[in-house]
Structure 1
Amino acid sequence: MADLEYDVADGIGTILLNRPRLKNAFTFAMIDDWAQALRSARTDPAVRVVVVTGAGDAFCSGVDLDEFNAQAGGPFALKSALTDRIHRVAYALEDLDKPVIAAVNGTAVGAGMDMALMCDIRLVARSARMSEGYIKVGLVPGDGGCYYLPRLVGMAKALELLWTGDFVDAEEALRLGIASHVYDDEGFREAWLGFARRIAAQPPINVQMIKRAAYQSARTDVRTALDLISSHMAVVHSTRDSAEAMAAFRGKRAPVFEGR
């Protein structure tokens, strides 16, 4: 079996980190496949939602340090390993308008936590434990922790977690706004699949435009945001899915969306 598996079913593209013996620590080859899966999902009409999860009892323990240290031949080589390889997942996510869910089962540490933070939503099992543990191995957050974490929990709490490397359990993650839902470990897969299917059942053009507008609005002023959403409203109102949604609402039936 591959160290990273990607499959599409029922509108959901699932990225499975598949090195359970090593807590799904990722290699550079896995990063290449991860970024490629996200690029494929971007243009695949069969994919309406992407889910990232881990095999076994962990989400991701971060980069495989043996391989990472072998690549780090000097400052420039180390920087290149990050910017040219590992960061490609973040860049691919930045280009992806479709929803991306991290289903966090068990441990997510260092870059593993960063990979969860860069998703749109985090659904966590009760066993989930997350830590920005870079400080404990003499490093700084190398995969977006300093960018994503303050936007979720505020600067002061983010700095506390980044400076201490403390673990956050599932309930604390929910309280801080890192996680959207906590589910029992037994039945966790069915829980996140059910949530993903709910999103996949929505009109896909609308879902993508909502994501685009929400992220762009966070980076601009209110007038620009309202001008943008007025354009989005005009576009989605003209789609066949919009007409289908209205007809289904009036007819009190389940809609069937085509993505056009």
Structure 2
Amino acid sequence: MTVRAYQDIKKGTQVADLELSKQGRVIVARLNRPEKKNAQSEEMLETLVDALRSANEDPEVSCFVLTGAGDAFCSGGDLGRRSNELAAVPTPLDRMDRLHAITHRVARAVEEFEKPLIAAVNGAAVGAGMDLSLMCDIRFAAKSARFAESYIRVGLIPGNGGCYFLPRIVGIAKALELLWTGEFLSADEALELGIVTRVYDDEQLMTETLAFAERLAEGPPIQQREIKKLLYQSLNTDLRTSLRAVSAHMAVVQSTDDYKEAISAFKERRKPIFKGR
């Protein structure tokens, strides 16, 4: 994505099948194919990858919110495209390369994204759409939201990280149950399982999500990024290694201007102003 294109995004514009806007220090990315329940297209995924990478490098962005247009979050892959594929008969290598080169770029971009990433699930999140929500750090849901790892219903296996992300949230047994059956979960059931952390009335979802995102955006960005890194790294390491990493990161954050500002604000009983230094 060019610098000019990203500047246009921050002003508020629609690029391909993804609508992007900026509110304060928060980028909002809205999957924008409501006529297809926001089924994923190549243009949508490519633009999302570029937006994530640009926002990650932009010091004026502190948080990224992902949601859907209309009454759905994302219905997954475009099944219309799959019917065309059957006519064209792509080779197994073609299918593997396409999945890796296009669909999986989003997961890799999310893994590299160091700032808070929030999914505001405004409706159905199905198949690759549910996987997309699971990639995010936090998920808030509207009461009308529904979740399903529905791949098995159309003769597929989870192709966008479902087998990786879901068991880390709900545990192995429940993940297998959901992946094997493809059954739907309501927003309240997702809340009970920890898939989402908050459920709001539909009309309040974006207001509440943006209020939370703006709250995070007021926090110290260096410390937020280090917390995120440490947490995800800890999932793949032992306690001693994790604690050793913390000691190194702590030495860095205590040398920042934002740390000094936090201490001064605490002593002076005022709200701190962080600058990411």
TM-score (ref. length: structure 1): 0.97
Give the match for residue 80 of structure 1: 97
**1:43 has 2:49 as partner:** no
Structure 1 unaligned residues grouped into runs of 5+: none
Native 8 Å contact 1:117 1:148 kept in 2:
yes
Give the match for residue 176 of structure 1: 193
Give the match for residue 30 of structure 1: 44
* Partner deviation per Cα, 1:16-75 (whole Å, 9 max, x = no partner): 101111111110111110111111111011111111000111100011122245456121
**Cα distance in structure 1, aligned partners of 2:29 and 2:203:** 20
Give the match for residue 236 of structure 1: 253
**1:246 has 2:260 as partner:** no
**Cα distance in structure 1, aligned partners of 2:22 and 2:202:** 23
Written as runs of structure 1 = structure 2, the 5 A alignment for 1:25-174 is 25-70=39-84, 73-174=90-191
**Cα distance in structure 2, aligned partners of 1:179 and 1:92:** 22
Native 8 Å contact 1:213 1:228 kept in 2:
yes
Deviates further, 1-10 or 33-42: 1-10
Please state whether the residue corresponding to 1:39 is helix, strand or coil. Answer: helix
Please state whether the residue corresponding to 1:51 is helix, strand or coil. Answer: strand
Q: How much identity, in percent, do the aligned residues show?
A: 55
Give the match for residue 199 of structure 1: 216
* Partner deviation per Cα, 1:126-153 (whole Å, 9 max, x = no partner): 1110000000000000000000000000
Give the match for residue 10 of structure 1: 24
The size of the alignment, in residue pairs, is 260
Native 8 Å contact 1:8 1:46 kept in 2:
no
Closer/same/farther in 2, CA of residues 236 and 64 from structure 1, 3 Å limit: same
**CA root-mean-square deviation:** 1.1
- Once the 2 structures are TM-superposed, how far is the Cα of residue 221 of structure 1 from its aligned partner? 0.7
**1:213 has 2:230 as partner:** yes
Structure 2 unaligned residues grouped into runs of 5+: 1-13
Native 8 Å contact 2:63 2:213 kept in 1:
yes
Native 8 Å contact 2:139 2:195 kept in 1:
yes
Please state whether the residue corresponding to 2:61 is helix, strand or coil. Answer: coil
**Cα distance in structure 2, aligned partners of 1:151 and 1:69:** 33
- Once the 2 structures are TM-superposed, how far is the Cα of residue 6 of structure 1 from its aligned partner? 2.0
**Cα distance in structure 2, aligned partners of 1:226 and 1:148:** 24
